[in-house]
Amino acid sequence: MAPRPRPPQPNPLPKFLRTSNVYLFIPNIIGYARIILASISLIYMPIHPLTCTILYGVSCILDALDGYAARKFSQSTKFGAVLDMVTDRCTTSCLLMFLSAAYPDQPSLKILFQFLLSLDLASHYMHMSAMMEKGAGSHKSVNKDQSKLLNLYYTNKAVLFTFCAFNELHFVSLYLLSFPSPSAARDALLPFIYTVAYLTFPVCAGKQIINFVQMARAAETLVNIDKENIRQASLLNGAKTE
């Protein structure tokens, strides 16, 4: 007996929010809000750490919300995925750029933050390029054969959220600690900020290892594709000369 066709699923969106315009999908609108909040946080970054932290933090929280909205309303798009990744990379890069100049008495930290910024950009760009060359539907479509670590990182939402959140929390705590104490209120918060910095450090370090593994696996994938293309070209040239 042929299976019965599934009845059409009701659209969970109110009628006035339904649209076929990808730019106006709810997850993408959340993405635009993230960009606005992060941009405003940059204005306050050198002058008002509390305001900057609140704006930056809300932008990061919305990062989790846009993914939920994409699944909830069946509005997952390639544009949204790229917008999300680009926003993540830009916001983290801006924070690392600030940190590279925030500790002038420790020049080694400047080099470290510059290295972490470069690693973050390089690993994600190479990973995205490798997944596109493979024809994967998403940069998160990493199978276990490619990397068990990356498969766990991208397919387990709890793992992904923990690493991303703790990575940002560590950098934000270092940002807050780079300012002198102008008030008794901030002095009272210093033990808490130091605690956050120490607790999030191991996960932040693990995130950098994941970035390195991601870059190495992406390089391997691209090289294997090049080898296959060279082999196919050699076979084609051999067939033409016969």
Give catalytic residue positions: 88
Residues 6+ apart with CB under 8 A from 192: none
Report d(CA 217, CA 238) in Å as an integer: 31
The packing angle between helices 49-72 and 26-44, to 10°, is 170
Is residue 166 within 8 Å of residue 200, measured between CB atoms? yes
Site of tokens 């009701």: 10
Angle, CA 144 vertex, CA 117 and CA 206 arms, to 5°: 35
How many CA within 13 A on the CB side of residue 165? 13
Report d(CA 135, CA 150) in Å as an integer: 17
Q: What is the dihedral of CA 177, 181, 185, 187, to 10 degrees?
A: 70
Report d(CA 98, CA 90) in Å as an integer: 12
Residues 6+ apart with CB under 8 A from 53: 41, 172, 175, 176
The amino acid present at 102, given as its one-letter code, is A
